[in-house]
Structure 1
């Protein structure tokens, strides 16, 4: 019975994933000083742990805010950048994003990923002729080298990323 109560309290939090540790403490009605281990929180949700040894292995992902931010962090980047133009309502975008992140994580910091929401950055999407989503560009030394549109298989994405290095 105690497990059912615990599960009912945790279910909405596990779905949202935001502010997980404080939310778990609150759901379990733990004192404010008590902190649930982030690794335990990650195991409960199936997400990645944010411990220092795993954090270094995470891909560098930039959420582009506006054109100025794009110029500074993508065009001005010393590393190659995979730019993912996506939309929150786009089904293929939801499938492609995690694939890109996983493949870029495998590059161990040699490549950066920038995510551009076309609904929030309309001018930027128009400037780069984004006519459908997902559209992915490979940028190196401030220049677009290659691109693809739509959902691709992992081996095609790996070849795309390898072509930037």
Structure 2
């Protein structure tokens, strides 16, 4: 869906400009290490159990405005922590199987996971400083 919207917007520009916009965006997206968009339950479990670093699981919905804003804030904060923690973005509408296991009642919900076990959580939109404190409090 993001690609469709992006391409729709990009198609309004001349070809030379569209090409640069698409190339720059793809390059910037590829630079964001430490962020994984979870595709299914098995992938989420593997990330949580196989990762030596703390996993910060961001349970979000694409239609949720606070989730979108929290996602933007995480993008900025993760530039500082990308080598220290793993941010697992979990779309609650696509990976529903994990919701009961972690008692996800609302979005956004963020959970810190170490060695497969929950060690911290918050629900709702938080300021960037609160995100940084949450990450610092739960890093290895």
TM-score (normalised: structure 2): 0.80
Distance 2:74 2:123 in 1: 13
Poorly superposed stretches of 4+, deviation over 6 Å: none
Distance 2:88 2:109 in 1: 12
- Find the aligned partners of 1:89 and 1:105 in 2 and give their Cα distance: 25
1:74 aligns to 2:74 (yes or no): no
Aligned length: 135
Q: Which one has a larger percent strand, Structure 1 or Structure 2? A: 2
After superposition, what is the alpha-carbon deviation per residue over 1:22-60, rounded to whole angstroms, capped at 9, x for unaligned? x77xx52x7xxxxx5xxx4269xxx65717xx955x232
TM-score by length of 1: 0.69
Q: Which blocks of at least 5 consecutive residues in structure 1 are unaligned? A: 1-13, 31-35
Q: Which has the higher contact order (CA 8 A, sep 6+)?
A: 2
Q: What's the RMSD between the two structures over aligned residues?
A: 3.1
Q: C-alpha displacement at 1:101, in angstroms? A: 2.0
* SS of residue matched to 1:158: helix
Contact 2:111/2:120 (<8 A) preserved: yes
Please list the CA deviations of residues 71-99 of structure 1 after superposition, one character each: whole Å capped at 9, or x if unmatched.
Answer: 11223211111100011111110110111
Map residues 51-62 of structure 1 onto 2, 5 A cutoff: 56=31, 58-62=32-36
